[in-house]
Amino acid sequence: MSRPIPSALLAGLFFALLTWLSFPPFGHFWWLAFLAPVPLIACADRRAIEAGPATPAGTEHGRPRRTSVARSLGFVLAVSLGVLPLWLYELQWVIPISAFGYLPMAVIMALFYGVFAWALARVRRRWPRVPLALAAGVVWVGVEFFRGDIACTGFGWMLLGHPLVEVGWLAAPAAVLGAYFVSGLVAAVGGALAAAMAKRYRAAVASIVCIALVWAGAAWLGLLPRLEDGQTTPVTIGVVQTNLAQDNKTFWSPAQRLADMTRFEDLTRSLAGASPRPDLVVWPETMFPGWYLDPVSSQAERDFGIAMNVKDENGNEHRVPSTVFMDRLLALQREIGLPMLVGGVAGDNVRFHEDASGIRDTSDAKYNSALLVERGAVDPHRYDKIELTPFGEVLPYFGSWAWLREWGRDNLGAAGMLFDLTPGRHETVFSLTTADGARYHAVTPICFEATRGRLCRRLVNAAGPGPVVIINLTNDGWFSGFDPARDQHLLAARWRCVELGVPMVRAANTGVSCAIDAGGRVTVRGTSAGEYRVDGTMSAGVGLTNIRTIYRVVGDVVGWASLIATLGLVVTPRRRAVTSPEGA
């Protein structure tokens, strides 16, 4: 094989460059997503041809298997090294959160692309009659689905097809078989282009024609429910965008909490007094400044008589009950007369005790929750975050041994986080009413849950028939000053709207708060004060429909099928030598 390592490294670098340009902040170059996988696919295809046909077990084209394994490992590492700069750039927001975890996370993300190139080359050698476009699409989705939904609970960030949400009809097939299906179509186009580069023009043209027909048919099926259902329920949703830096949020002093509560109250009053008047007001994830927001835990807090020492502007110290935040929130809701969805902490069987280090709380479980405040009270019917953020709220695979869990928390986890949250168990649906008396449902995926198609599908399906809206409460303060990450988080969330045919409103600490229609199009973006790292308000009119997409019924069958097919094609041994894949 001639100079495989340099060519693999260059393929990874070209992929990284094209992918970087296709994602925010370069959103107008979305079309580069079609070109991005071509270098990796062409490199894998060339490796398969130069390596020759598959041979009996024990040797690889006349070489000992040990030599072949070493060459394969070198190929994977070379591709991954080329892709690594992309993830070093995209994950730079991790540095202030977990400096030790930043490089391992970037390396692991880059390795998936090396694995893809190796797996595709192996499939091409073993199954040369499978068209390159089809093989590339299946293997890409198999690897991407494993990364996005399975490994370390999943990190569905920067999927290949994500930039295409900017063009409605290109994204529409996701309403049929999900966002991974669109990634597969993009990779298939890349496979057809790679075949053309190898001068296999007949195969390339045939593949392009088949892909175009499949894409057009899936787009038609995806758009059809939106075209047929003209009935809408208009709802106006108001968002209070807070602007708390994550270090302030993690180490929130009593004085700062009181000051922030005053600011949140002022913003909420201005939003409630705007025209048109919203039907619902939303605060972002965990932005309630008090200890506990659920009524039972708050009452336990009140019964224990917890108070905070707070200095006024003259330096005089005062004792302030910790439940002042709950009292002020309930008073605010009664004042504006609007239901409020607020992000806060909830608990099961919360107990307080005092020791030499101060007042401590214990509980059977603690949750990151969304709670409804209406009629001057907090509704005990709440949503507890089901899928906790890996390495931010939970440490995947670190739970078996205490010493390993503590090491992971101190070295790989988010700084300042206790990792004491429990996953929620119920797909809670909030039933609400507009000012005109129309009933609608709201489901509230929290933070990165909006990037999880499988979970959002469960939540929306739990709402049953009738108009439904997704309200994403998120704390994007984790991204610090790196605004492209905020846009990429939003980009991933938009695909849930396409898949499910449901609009979304995002309430984001530090931005970007916005409204998204059922086709994934951002209709209102930013607040009265701007988009990024500002506090302000946003009011958006949203049209809710009764659309039921095919994806709501079948889910991620393409992801699972591609993963199983990829494993089967890679692992299943060939019992006899086959011809070179040059003709496919």
In CATH, what number is assigned to the domain containing residue 450? 3.60.110.10
**Residue-level pLDDT at 384:** 97
Predicted confidence band at 1 (pLDDT cuts at 50, 70, 90)? very low
Whether residues 490 and 564 fall in one domain: no
| Cα of 184 vs its chain's centroid, Å | 18
Pair 135, 18 in one domain = yes
Determine the pLDDT at residue 345. Answer: 96
Whether residue 146 has pLDDT greater than 70: yes
Which residue, chain included where needed, has tokens 């979305």? 30
Q: How many domains does the chain have?
A: 2
In a domain, 196, yes or no: yes
**Spatial CB neighbours of 43, under 8 Å, sequence gap ≥ 6:** 7, 8, 11, 79, 117
Task: For residue 468, name the pLDDT band (cuts at 50, 70, 90).
Answer: very high
Structural domain includes residue 339: yes
Is position 129 within any domain?
Answer: yes
Whether 446 maps to a domain, the answer reads yes
- Percent with pLDDT over 90 in the chain: 74
The reply to whether 393 falls in a domain is no
Whether residues 191 and 318 share a domain: the answer is no
> Residue 248 pLDDT more than 70?
no
The reported pLDDT for the residue numbered 98 is 83
Over residues 396-442, the pLDDT tens digits come to 666 555 665 566 656 666 565 567 889 999 999 999 999 899 999 99
Does 189 share its domain with 271?
no
**Pair (358, 215) in one structural domain:** no
Do the domain assignments include residue 37?
Answer: yes
The pLDDT, as a whole number, for residue 233 is 87
The range of the structural domain enclosing residue 37 comes to 4-228+557-583
DSSP 377: E
Does residue 407 sit within a domain?
no
Tens-digit pLDDT profile for residues 337-396: 999 999 999 999 999 988 877 788 899 999 999 999 999 999 999 999 999 887 777 766
pLDDT for res 5: 78
pLDDT tens string 156-177: 999 999 999 999 999 999 999 9
- Higher-scoring residue by pLDDT: 573, 257: 257
Q: Quick one: average pLDDT of 256-278?
A: 95
- Beta strand extents in 164-257 (DSSP E only): 233-241
pLDDT of residue 358: 79
Q: Respond yes or no on whether the N-terminal peptide bond of residue 96 is cis (omega within 30° of 0).
A: no
Who has greater pLDDT, 73 or 395? 73
Q: Are residues 240 and 334 in the same domain?
A: yes
Q: Which CA distances in Å does 57 have to 50, 61, 65, 68, 119?
A: 19, 10, 8, 12, 18
480 lies in the same domain as 566: no
In a domain, 126, yes or no: yes
Considering the domain architecture, whether residues 207 and 237 belong to the same structural domain is answered as no
* 318 and 460 housed in the same domain: yes
223 and 326 within one domain: no
For residue 130, give every residue at least 6 positions away whose Cβ sits within 8 Å of its Cβ, in sequence order, or none: 123, 124, 569, 584
**222 shares its domain with 312:** no
Q: Are 132 and 247 in the same domain?
A: no
Q: How confident is the model at residue 578 (pLDDT cuts 50, 70, 90)?
A: very low
Tokens of 367: 């949750």
Cα dihedral across residues 565, 570, 573, 579: positive or negative: positive
